[in-house]
Each structure stands twice: as structure tokens, then as C-alpha cells.
A and B are shown apart, each in its own frame.
Chain A
């Protein structure tokens, strides 16, 4: 087997451009690697035939951009025309979309090659990917541990070098948390940066697609192609930007805030220690780093539970067994048919969240819970805005622990939310957040640094992230 997929995207690009390799070499190597590591269970659907066909077609085309011919994996809640899109649910086990998500059209325009659809928590609800109908994907670093979630398959596939880059989605940390657990780079851009058209809706006011990669530069490069206005998603912003433009620049004079809440006592001491080392390193290089407070940040998980479950109950009402998806065999009575279809088609986590969400939005509860959550959400956003008046970026740990055992905390319905306690505030405000690897704990499990930027300031986040990545490489840490 060749080892082209261990090279950087830039190195692969140069080989393609010089015609030393063909896209087909990359595709065949990807499938060999996937077969070799199939116990990771990171893919729900593989697109071998389509990928080979595409790779052969590309042989006739000019290598006109850096992502040309690069294999990519797509989280299985992003619609791919003629390729099964299951959301890791029995409900959509046999669903083959009639259209592409906007991000898939963008990937196709760049002539990237889709290798497969990655495993995830069912309908992106969870923090471990264990709620998948297809069984959990495994952590690429330690197969006895969770890959994180909900974009667990996308994270593990990149970390295991099965493909160079992937797409995830992040409603309450679902890109950044698995990125941290697998030791890769994951970016959730500013809400409205990337079209959600074709992303199966979980909580519409929080959902955002984002890139997952092995290094900072490639992440920024991929984000360049994904952003932009889309008339099919009114929340998108008209943006054309090169997110790599500050990479390599000095960080002298940069002002960085660290919310005290992010370094509280329930963060694992080893993780805290690694973050503190980064803080010292940044200070040594001329950055100012200060502890700050963000109002209501400690309430973000409660707000998230209400907003996400409420919106999910509404969004998932469409799965009724009539037009597409799973249908119960009991067709005696329409109401019972709906109920049985949903009882048989959805897994436990999804059912629980829909039930609680329906309750939270019913009658006067909408005022007591959902509207109040939106009011406090506004205060969190304002508090972040106040912080960004004085600081360029905010940092902290991505997670309170490293990846835990696959069998831990299986019966605790609250655990899924607590795993994301440090990443959820970003979704509340709609801000961009990313995780980068900054080292490993004593059992060799990756630790992530969470970087939060002001609205639409991903380029500055990449600057800091790349600086840290380079400095850690010098001392042999990070990966």
C-alpha cells in the first residue's frame, strides 16, 4: 500500500499536479485503509463505485485547485444526491436523497472525491456517537474509548488517516468535542457562514456545518470553499474570504481572555495543566492573557437543553412514515400509525428528546421555558460581545475530560449534555469556535484547546491556532 494519505494536502496536490500520482491512487488507498481499519466503524455508507468513477473522470481534467482529487468524508446528516443519508437512524436507514446539500455542490465544484458517509449520534443527538443505529464508531487513538460526538465518525476517520479531511456538524459542540477526543482540528464557524441547506435539521438556530482536518492550515483551506451566501438558507452571509491569510504571523500584542468558568474545578487537572502551559507560552511570545467572566455562561447547558430539545421536537415532526423513511406495518389507524412509526424508527435518546421538547413547547410552557431561554441566550451573546470589545480571542479547554471508555455512563441521560459543557456557550451566541490538539494525558489520550473568536473572525482564530501548532511541533507536542 502507498502512503500518500499520510502526506499533507499540499504535498498530495503537488504530486497530482506533477502527474506523479492520479486521483485513483488516493481513492484506492483510502478504501484499502478503511478495510484495514473497519473495526473503527466510522463509515455507515461507502461510495466506492462512485468514487472510482469520479477519480477516473478527473484524470481528463486539469488540477485547478488545491482540493482537486482530495478524498473527503461526509457526516451522514448531510444530504448527498443518490447516496444513502441515514442520520445514523433506523428512520432513514434506506433514505436516498434527491438533492445535494449546498456544501456537497461546493465540494463537487472543487472536484473533491466523496469516499463515504460517516457514523454519528442518531440525528446528531449525543456526545459519544453511541446512539448510532449502526453501532458506535471507535476512537482512532484508543479503540476501547468513545470517538465523541456527534461527529464521531468524521473525527475518527481523519485521525486514523483514512481520509485527509471531513465534514461534521455542530449544534452543541459536535465538531469540536470529537475533534478534541481524537486529536484533530475541528472548526464550527460563525452561525450563518455555511449554508445549512441539505443538513438534516436538529436545532435550526444552533446547527452549523464545519471542517475537520489533521492540521490548522488544511482546515482553513477547506473552510474557504464552504462559506458563502445561499438563497436556500436565509441565515447565510455574503462572504468570500481566505482564512489562511494570517497563518504564520506573529501573535505579539494579541489580547486573549480565559473565562474563569472554563478552568473550574471539574476540569481534569491534566487538561488544565496543558491549557496553563499554552497560556504561559502565549505570554512568552508577547500576547496578553487574562482571566475574564462571561455572564450566564454557567447556565448555557440548561438553555441548550431547552432550545435544542424544543427545536428538535419541531424539526423531527416531519418523520411520520408517509412520504419517506421508515413506516410501521400497523396501518389500521392514522394516529397510531404515526406513533408506532416514530416509536419503532427512532432510538431512545431521540425519543426522549422529542418527548421533553414537545412538553417544553406545549401551552404555557413555551413562555416558561423556551422564551425565557431565548432571553438569557441574548444576554450570553451580549456578554461575549462585551468581552470581545477588549479581547481578540477567548481560549480554554475543549472538554473537561479526555475520551472515556465506551461502556462508561451508558444509562445517564444527562451525561450527553455535560460532556459539552465547555463548548455549548459558543452555539448559544452563534460565535465561531474551534478545537486544536495541544498534547496528550498520561494515558496518551489527546487534549484539545478551545479557541473562540468574535463573529466572522475565523481568520484570527486560525492565526493563533497555527501559531500554537507550530510552537508545539518545535517541542514535539500537540499530536
Chain B
């Protein structure tokens, strides 16, 4: 892996939806670089076969039937939401005029 630039760090933070302050960038350049150097070791591994192990279980996984059941009410779940208006969970502005 080539050395991470400031732009790379900002891009990675953006992908992760994590805000980083300008003054934090040098710290992340070092820390993320060391992790990426580690994962880059995979490029040197050879001789394996192409079959992938997605989950370690061998049994057939059959989804449960999609049946109507009683669920939690809005009142029961709404107290967990940071902001609520009436019967709605409030979200920040998505489209600015």
C-alpha cells in the first residue's frame, strides 16, 4: 500500500460516515496506514484454492415463514429515538431549499 495522503484519509472517513477534524488527520494517517500495511500482507499469500468460506456452517439454512405477528407499538419503541414528534421519529433536514 502506498502511503496514505490527507485526501485518502478524508475519503476513507467519508466512506465510513465519520467526521474527522483537520487536526486529527495526521493521527489517522499513521494509524490507518499501519492497519492497511497489515491487511496488505494478504497480497503475498499464494497457492490457495478459489472456493470461499462465507459462513462456517454446513447445514441448509431455511428462512422462517413470513408470517404476520403482533409487533411492538410505536409508543414502545419511540422512547429509544433521540427525537420524536407526535407519531414520527424526527430526522434532520435532508433537502435544503
State the A residues within 8 Å of B (CB): 95-96, 98, 191-192, 205, 231-232, 234-235, 237, 296, 299, 301-303, 305-306, 309, 313, 317, 320-327, 331-340, 342-343, 346, 351-360, 362, 368-369, 371-379, 381, 413-414, 417, 429-430, 455
Contacts and interface: CB of A to CB of B under 8 A. Distances in A.
B52 A413 contact: no
Nearest to B54: A374
Nearest to A319: B17
B39 A334 contact: no
A307 B27 CA distance: 24
A413 B31 contact: yes
Given A296-B45, A355-B13, A355-B16, 8 more contacts: A205-B54, A235-B57, A237-B57, A323-B80, A326-B82, A334-B94, A353-B35, A374-B53
B48 A375 contact: yes
Given A235-B57, A356-B35, A375 B82 contact: no
B50 A354 contact: no
Interface in B38-82: 38-39, 41-43, 45, 48-59, 61-64, 72, 76-77, 80-82
Nearest to B61: A234
A356 B36 contact: yes
Nearest to A236: B57
Given A237-B57, A352-B32, A322 B89 contact: yes
Interface residues of B, number: 49
Contacts of B59: 192, 237
Contacts of B54: 205, 374
A96 B94 CA distance: 28
8 closest cross-chain pairs (CB), A and B = A430-B56, A327-B82, A339-B19, A378-B53, A324-B80, A374-B52, A358-B15, A343-B19
A68 B70 CA distance: 31
Contact of B51 (A301, A322, A378, A417): A378
Contact of A356 (B39, B89, B91, B94): B39
A369 B39 contact: yes
Given A95-B80, A324-B80, A331 B57 contact: no
A375 B57 contact: no
Chain B interface SS verdict (over half): loop
Contacts of A323: 77, 80-81, 89
B15 A191 contact: no
A299 B53 contact: no
B86 interface: no
B15 A378 contact: no
Contact of B77 (A98, A302, A351, A378): A98
B12 A321 contact: no
A387 B81 CA distance: 51
B18 A339 contact: yes
A305 B39 contact: yes
Given A333-B96, A356-B39, A414-B38, A375 B49 contact: yes
A309 B12 CA distance: 13
A358 B76 contact: no
B42 A333 contact: no
B39 A302 contact: yes
Nearest to B95: A334
Contacts of A429: 56
Contact of B48 (A232, A324, A342, A376): A376
Nearest to B80: A324
A324 B82 CA distance: 6
Given A234-B61, A332-B93, A414-B34, A313 B39 contact: no
A98 B80 CA distance: 9
B16 to A, nearest CB: 4
A214 B76 CA distance: 39
